[in-house]
């Protein structure tokens, strides 16, 4: 087992993973950290636990969206150029941001009034 220290929400956590999976765990932690930051921005004043809850909900929403509409594209071969995915990714990110803002407003209505 390998020891890995990850950062999420401004805190450091000691984790264990299989040898060789350290970089993968660090990438996953970075994704969660981005979602925690989005939760904090969408609804300022959330407790750390609620920020992590929002992050989990945001990630679950993305996963559900991919499962609903992304099953055909998941099986498609990767494009030869990373640049070719920029526009669809940008549209998807914008759509997700709008959905996250709407979700945050429903979950924490007082944050929308601030």
Nearest to 100 by CA among 46, 17, 41: 41
* Average pLDDT score over residue span 82-103: 61
93 pLDDT tier (thresholds 50, 70, 90): low
Secondary structure (3-state) at 13: strand
Task: Return the H-helix or E-strand segment holding 88.
Answer: helix 86-107
**Domain range summary for the chain, segments of one domain joined by +:** 30-69+85-113
Res. 27 pLDDT band, cuts 50 70 90:
very high
Report the pLDDT value the prediction gives residue 8, as an integer from 0 to 100. Answer: 94
Secondary structure class of 19 (helix, strand, coil):
coil
Q: Which residues pair with residue 15 across a beta bridge?
A: 4
Residue 56, number of CB atoms within 10 A of its CB: 14
The pLDDT tens digits of the residues spanning 31-83 come to 999 999 999 998 888 899 999 998 999 999 899 989 888 643 444 334 444 44
Mean pLDDT for all residues in the chain: 77
How many Cβ atoms from other residues are within 10 Å of residue 17's Cβ? Answer: 17
Q: What CA–CA distance (Å, rounded) separates 91 from 85?
A: 10
């Amino acid at each position: 087992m390998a020891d890995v220290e990850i950062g999420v929400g401004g805190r450091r956590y000691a984790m264990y993973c299989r040898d060789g999976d350290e970089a993968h765990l660090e990438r996953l932690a970075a994704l969660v950290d981005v979602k925690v930051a989005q939760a904090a921005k969408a609804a300022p004043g959330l407790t750390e636990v609620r920020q992590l809850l929002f992050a989990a909900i945001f990630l679950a929403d993305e996963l559900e969206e991919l499962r609903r509409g992304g099953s055909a594209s998941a099986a498609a071969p990767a494009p030869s150029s990373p640049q070719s995915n920029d526009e669809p990714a940008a549209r998807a990110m914008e759509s997700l941001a709008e959905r996250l803002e709407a979700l945050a407003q429903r979950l924490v209505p007082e944050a929308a009034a601030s």
